[in-house]
Chain A
Amino acid sequence: MTTTTQASPVPSRWARFRDSYLVYSFKRDLVAQVCLATFVAMVLAAVLAPWLAPMNPYDLAQIDIMASELPPFWIDGSDPTYVLGTDAQGRDLLSTILYGARVSLIIGFGAVILQAMLGVTFGLLAGYLGGRVDAFLMRLADIQLSFSTLMVAIIVGAVIKASFGGAIYSEYAVIILVLIIGLAEWPQYARTVRASVLAERSKEYVDAARVMGFRAKRIMFRHILPNTLSPIFVISTVQIANAIISEAALSFLGLGMPETQPSLGSLIKSGFDYLQSGSWWITLIPGAVLVVLVLVINLLGDWLRDVMNPRLYKG
């Protein structure tokens, strides 16, 4: 006694994605396409840095001090081997930017993964269990938010350098920064996920799961979490951009990545002093790269937020 026959065949996962509103909107939005292309290009370039870069800026043997402060190719006095010019030590700027972007992106993604894991778990627990657990976790979030990331970074950095010395700090700088930025920003995820969980918890499919006898852990992770993914994706883009900027700010202040492992931020810092003497490219070109990277991520985040607005995909 089938009441209706679905004449069309069941679409595969790929077909569903291809026909989804996300893809439809993407095809119509030039800005989103350009941003995604740029972002992917930058990530690829950073990942493939060891193969793409003309020279290894950390290899002291390759650095020629005589080639220092050469301008980029479109200015008189440049050297064709150094397309974007060189810095004060004679390192090729293009190479340092590629390696620097690599470090920035690693820290950005790493911090966000840490934030997400912590924040999503706490948000799920707070939203689903409610009561004292909720109150405790949210107060913890409030306390965490009242600490400025920079302040924490300064203190932790200073303590580690004092206890273990500068060399240890340099070696573990990436991990330390990932930890600091990751731990500083988990409340964002927690709050967002908690709001989603509160909305989902009142829906009948959660009641159905409880009536079926499933335990809390199963309901939280198997039933509710998949339905809170959209806001997580949206804020992740912004958080990656924020993490990159945070690291750049720290490095610019000398509290982040050391000189031996420069990120975009420390490149900007090291070239800053040479602005006065006219070698503007040492600081401004890495700066432009940083701005473009963050801008592209933020624009993608904006587009994603609009596309994933629940009002638009009614079931």
Chain B
Amino acid sequence: MVQSVVSGLLAGGAYALIGVCIVLVFRMVRVVNFAQAATGAMGAYVAILLFGSGWSYMPAGLAGMVAGVAIGWLCGLVMSQWFSESSTVARSTVAIAMLIALLTLGFRFFGTTARKIPEIRPGSTVNVLGVNVGVSTIITVVGAIVLAFLISLFLDRTTLGIRMRALSERPHAAELLGVPAKRLAVFVWAFAGAISTAGMLLIAPSRQSDFASLGLIVLPSIAAASLGLFRSLGLAVLGGLLIGMIEGGVQNFSSIAPYSDAVPLVFIAVVLMWSQRGEVWDASR
């Protein structure tokens, strides 16, 4: 039982990484980026192609992250150019359209079949208190926690970070105060593209790694972000690890193991229904 819960931590860490990206983008531009995992998958596949053609792991991974930055930058540009003033429904629809576009391009460039994906440190595990933990698991989980901590520190302590918070809480007021809204928003999208690429590279080896499956990892990641109502980085990390561990634990029960992909639904339903139970009316007064 403990072993299977711990083995779910790798996925959980990746959900946490992408969940952090989703929170970051949501806080900047108030849209749930449905394309976040697909952006990462795109970057990861670029890295894998380069790796396959003889590059060593690290340079290939960095090149993939650059690709993730490019895609994130492009998506952010579209969103902030035309939809910064649009309704939630319109912005969500654009994010969904981005997901469709990236999935379609992914199928085209990389095919629909699963690929063999290299691990960062193949097969190496560490024994912690009698439980085997993969090195990539440790990298992912620690990475997610450190990242969330660093971003929080950045948002709280630096001038740029405080400007970004102002932007997320009072976009118009921030713009009037001279905060370059568009540039900052696009920067955040690009940054999130890089991080989600890293998350994807870490999780892909242990996953059904066809492009669509990787793109739909956005769902558990969104579920993770929903724990903090898309606003808290720490809770997003916690949510991701929780979902990963639940999915891992579920593998112990053969009768429900095939349904582990339904875990995010249960998680989202419980979290959102509970946190929004008082929202009887819509925003328009």
Are chains A and B native binding partners rather than an unrelated pairing? no
Q: Which residues of A contact B (CB under 8 A)?
A: none
Q: Which residues of B contact A (CB under 8 A)?
A: none
